[in-house]
């Protein structure tokens, strides 16, 4: 299932001073402490206590195939 998780991060170590970020991808693993989302950049393990919102999202749109010339 493809999801987006919004979770809290430390503003002091954030590159732009944000307090939240998102993980978009497919749930790879989940236990009582964390959720791992397979994102385009690799796996993102998020502690459940930091998650503020989560929802399923549709699959990415299919790009039209290019015809070779």
pLDDT tens digits for range 10-22: 888 877 778 999 9
* Stretch (H or E) spanning 54: strand 51-56
Distance, CA of 23 to CA of 45 (rounded, Å): 9
- The answer as to whether 10 is a domain residue is yes
**More confident site: 16 or 7:** 7
Domain presence at residue 33: yes
Per the listing, tokens 């503003």 go with 11
The tally of domains found in the chain comes to: 1
Residue 65 lies in a domain: no
Six-digit token string for 33: 């402490």
What global pTM score does this model have?
0.79
Distance (Å, rounded) from C-alpha 46 to C-alpha 24? 12
State the CATH number of the domain containing residue 40: 2.30.30.100
**Domain enclosing residue 31, as ranges:** 2-56
């Amino acid at each position: 299932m493809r999801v987006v998780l919004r979770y809290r991060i430390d503003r002091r170590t954030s590159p732009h001073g944000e307090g939240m970020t998102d993980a978009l991808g497919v749930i790879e693993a989940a236990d009582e402490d964390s959720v791992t989302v397979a994102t385009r950049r690799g796996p993102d393990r998020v502690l459940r206590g930091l998650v503020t919102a989560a929802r399923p999202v549709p699959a990415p749109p299919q790009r039209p195939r290019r015809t070779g010339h």
